[in-house]
């Protein structure tokens, strides 16, 4: 059956030419991102365990993880937690299948601990965090879903969205957080994982407001804290220069009151240690950003099953498609993708797959249409490949 694909020319000021642009990224240690990260780590581990035990991925959704803040007493050169951070791995998973029992909850706990070790190493797993797990049994029967040679049925009437390419501001905001964690921390160990980068472009001036939880044990005193912020500011400015010729201004921890000593100091590098809770699906969209100038979906991507949950699949797919079109089809300034499912219909047959294209001046819109349609059609035909890539952890979800 021919797919319902629609490529439309959009008359719109392209993102780089709009006067005001706002872009946000929450770092991996932000409580909302922590929830996303645990949710997706658990889903991946369940996928692997299901494949190992049953030969196929079974129904699960672990997208209700909650991070409940602890209480801390940060200090220069040290500090300690009063109450641990509490992480509740919650959701639903198939616990038995053809008389095979799947160790869902122990798998989830192990996955969460491994995620903690690899991604949030400054949180001492011994006594600074509690990882609890209460997975319910799923009610949905996904067995019918796996008929050879056929795509699964959509679990819901829902849509995914994506766009490409990233604007300068988007690239800067994304990479600022990434480089802080992956590189700058080598020189500045006090950098925590709870980072929030807010980028605001006003014509040709980009203002970055960065909140970064500093880790007390690596900071000697207030002057050390201040110099750390200064070094960090320089590094971020240098980084931004690599992506833009526009003017860039960087603010770090603007709520600090250095005179009174009220600064952003933590024990573990995340505000989850003191008062800030987190939930899945309330932070970054699946391209790692929050972008009110751009089309977005409300669906939580992390933790959902990659088999038939269109809220996950169509968002990741839309971004892949958008990137693919932006890269391979000539003459495009911006492309927006939306894919809408109808519950109970095959996932490779959406109700609509829509592309909105802002072409470059003089571009051949007919060719853009036909090439874009072909790309969309191919991705939909290959939608189950997405499932594999997600289960293998090849695709980031926040």
| Binding residues for a second copy restricted to 244-303, rule: CB under 8 A | 251, 254-255, 274-275, 277, 279-283, 285, 290, 292-293, 295-300
CB of 187 to a second copy, least distance (A): 25
Question: In the window 191-210, what residues touch a second copy (CB under 8 A)?
Answer: 196, 198, 200, 202, 207, 209
- Using an 8 Å Cβ cutoff, are 39 and 63 in contact? yes
Nearest distance from residue 169's CB to a second copy, in Å? 13
Q: How far is the CB of 386 from a second copy (least distance, A)?
A: 20
3-state SS record for 206-254: EEEEEEEEEEHHHCCCHHHHHHHHHHHHHHHHHHHHCCCCCEEEEEECC
Q: Which of residues 98-157 bind a second copy (CB under 8 A)?
A: 101-107, 109-110, 113, 126-128, 130-133, 136, 138-140, 157
Q: Assess 33 for contact with a second copy (CB under 8 A).
A: no
| Footprint on residues 37-66 left by a second copy (CB under 8 A) | 64, 66
- Cα dihedral 274, 280, 285, 286 in deg (nearest 10): 120
Of 100 and 187, which has the nearer Cβ to a second copy? 100
User: Side-chain half-sphere of 5: how many Cα atoms within 13 Å?
Assistant: 22
| 200 φ, ψ (degrees, to nearest 5) | -130, 120
Least Cβ distance, residue 226 to a second copy (angstroms)? 17
Do strands 96-97 and 100-101 pair parallel, antiparallel, or not at all (unpaired)?
Answer: antiparallel
Is there a cis peptide before residue 165, judged by omega within 30 degrees of 0? yes
Q: Give 15 or 183: the residue with its C-beta nearer to a second copy.
A: 15
Q: Are 335 and 326 in contact (CB under 8 A)?
A: yes
Q: Is 136 marked as a binding-site residue?
A: yes
138 known member of a binding site: yes
CB 4, CB 345: distance < 8 Å: no
Task: Check the annotation: does 137 bind a ligand.
Answer: yes
CB of 71 to a second copy, least distance (A): 8
Burial of 244 from C-beta contacts in 10 A (0-12 / 13-18 / 19+): middle
Give min distance, CB of 44 to a second copy, in A: 16
Q: Given candidates 24, 122, 334, 348, which one binds a second copy under the rule CB under 8 A?
A: 24
Range 339-378, binding a second copy (CB under 8 A): 340, 342-345, 351-352, 354, 356
Mapped onto helix, strand or coil, the DSSP state of residue 278 is strand
Q: Give 24 or 371: the residue with its C-beta nearer to a second copy.
A: 24
Determine if residue 140 is labeled as part of a ligand binding site.
yes
Instruction: Name which of residues 310 to 329 contact a second copy (CB under 8 A).
Output: none
Output the smallest distance, CB 395 to a second copy, in A: 20
Q: What is the largest CA-CA distance in the chain?
A: 69
Q: Is 382 labeled as ligand-binding?
A: no
Q: Which is nearer to a second copy, 18 or 328 (CB)?
A: 18
Element (H, E) at 42: helix 31-54
Tokens representing 27 are 């770092």
Binding residues for ATP, by number, are 136-141
Binding residues, by number, are 136-141
């Amino acid at each position: 059956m021919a797919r319902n694909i629609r490529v439309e020319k959009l008359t719109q000021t392209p993102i780089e030419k709009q006067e005001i642009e706002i872009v946000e990224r929450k770092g991996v240690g932000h409580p909302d991102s922590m929830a996303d990260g645990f949710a997706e780590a658990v889903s991946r581990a369940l996928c692997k365990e299901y494949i190992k035990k049953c030969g196929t991925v079974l129904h699960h959704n672990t997208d209700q993880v909650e991070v409940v803040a602890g209480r801390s007493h940060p200090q220069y050169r040290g500090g300690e937690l009063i109450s641990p951070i509490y992480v509740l791995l919650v959701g639903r998973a198939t616990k038995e299948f053809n008389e095979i029992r799947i160790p869902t909850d122990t798998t989830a706990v192990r996955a969460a601990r491994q995620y903690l070790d690899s991604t949030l190493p400054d949180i001492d797993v011994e006594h600074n965090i509690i990882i609890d797990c209460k997975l319910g049994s799923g009610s949905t029967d996904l067995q019918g879903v796996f008929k050879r040679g056929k795509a699964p049925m959509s679990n819901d009437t829902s849509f995914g969205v994506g766009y490409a390419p990233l604007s300068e501001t988007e690239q800067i905001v994304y990479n600022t957080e990434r480089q802080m964690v992956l590189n700058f921390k080598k020189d500045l160990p006090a950098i925590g994982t709870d980072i929030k980068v807010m980028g605001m472009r006003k014509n040709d001036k980009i203002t970055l407001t960065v909140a970064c939880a500093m880790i007390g044990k690596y900071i000697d005193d207030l002057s050390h804290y201040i110099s750390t912020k200064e070094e960090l500011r320089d590094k971020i400015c240098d980084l931004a220069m690599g992506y833009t010729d526009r003017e860039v201004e960087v603010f770090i921890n603007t709520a600090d009151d250095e005179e009174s000593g009220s600064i952003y100091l933590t024990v573990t590098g995340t505000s989850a240690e003191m008062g800030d809770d987190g939930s899945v699906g309330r932070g970054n969209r699946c391209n790692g950003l929050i972008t009110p100038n751009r089309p977005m979906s409300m669906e939580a991507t992390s933790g959902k099953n990659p088999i038939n949950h269109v809220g996950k699949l169509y968002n990741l797919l839309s971004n892949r498609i958008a990137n693919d079109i932006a890269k391979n089809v000539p003459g495009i300034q911006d492309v927006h993708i939306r894919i809408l499912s109808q519950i109970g219909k095959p996932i490779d047959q959406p109700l609509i797959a829509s592309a909105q294209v802002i072409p470059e001046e003089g571009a051949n819109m007919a060719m853009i249409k036909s090439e874009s349609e072909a790309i969309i059609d191919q991705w939909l035909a290959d939608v189950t490949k997405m499932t594999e890539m997600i289960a293998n952890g090849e695709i980031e979800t926040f």
